[in-house]
Structure 1
């Protein structure tokens, strides 16, 4: 079992997501079971709700637990933002809530923050 936050240990089986991963706001399906690989690293992800409007420096939070997805076509309902630096931010394609994670353009991998989705 990967060394991770106890809140998410029950969501991981053999390094993969055990359950469906869905949007916290509209319950739209994002990933089916066993399609995301658990990984842990630190990334400053913009907050889903910003306190500042039209600011070029959004509020961020340090997120460290992710589902890594190697192929963007693995997602069920995910939208990709315009390019920001070397990344594109991921949103729910149905309700546009986000960012729920990011896509790293150089590596072509996507990362969904465990804390920004629900596991059902």
Structure 2
């Protein structure tokens, strides 16, 4: 598993999420236990809660640890943005914080960044 600022090993068992995956801002449940698979790859995701005046050139960060979800109906409380390129960004459906991840239109997979959520 790649090094990261937090130790996420305790959140993964048999490649799945052990606990609820929740919004950092409102504690809304996004995924229930064992509903997503851990995966790791590099992706440049826009920062959370930045000014809408920056829509054309949003600030981004490289994210590499994700919960992969292959069916959008697996989510408990997630909103999908309008299509941007080949993706839709994921937000908390309750407080609209995001993006917490993205949905890839080409393979119909959704990816929630571990650093953008809490586990409880």
What's the TM-score, normalizing by structure 2? 0.94
- Deviation larger for 51-60 or 70-79: 51-60
Q: Deviations over 1:25-82 (max 9, x none)?
A: 0000100000010000000000003267244010000000000000000000000000
User: Which residue pairs with 2:8 in the alignment?
Assistant: 8
Aligned positions, number: 118
Following the alignment from structure 2 to structure 1, what is the Cα–Cα distance between the partners of residues 91 and 51? 19
Give the aligned partner of residue 116 of structure 1. 116
Q: CA RMSD in A?
A: 1.3
- Structure 1 residues 46-55 or 76-85, which shifts more? 46-55
* Aligned ranges 1:41-60 → 2 under 5 Å: 41-50=41-50, 53-60=53-60
Distance in 2, matches of 1:55 and 1:13, equals 38
State whether residues 91 and 99 of structure 1, in contact with CA within 8 Å, keep that contact through their aligned partners in structure 2: yes
1:52/1:95 Cα in 2 relative to 1: closer, same or farther (>3 Å)? Answer: closer
| Structure-2 separation of matches of 1:108 and 1:49 | 25
What residue number does 1:64 align with? Answer: 64
Q: Is the alpha carbon distance of 1:52 and 1:64 closer, same or farther for their aligned partners in structure 2, counting shifts above 3 Å?
A: same
Distance 1:78 1:55, change over 3 A: closer
Local SS of the residue matching 2:7: helix
Unpaired runs of 5+ residues, structure 1, are: none
Q: Is the 8 A contact 1:70 1:110 kept in 2?
A: yes
Provide the rounded CA distance (Å) in 2 between the counterparts of 1:52 and 1:88. Answer: 16
- TM-score, scaled to structure 1: 0.94
Where do 4+ consecutive residues of structure 1 move more than 6 Å?
A: none
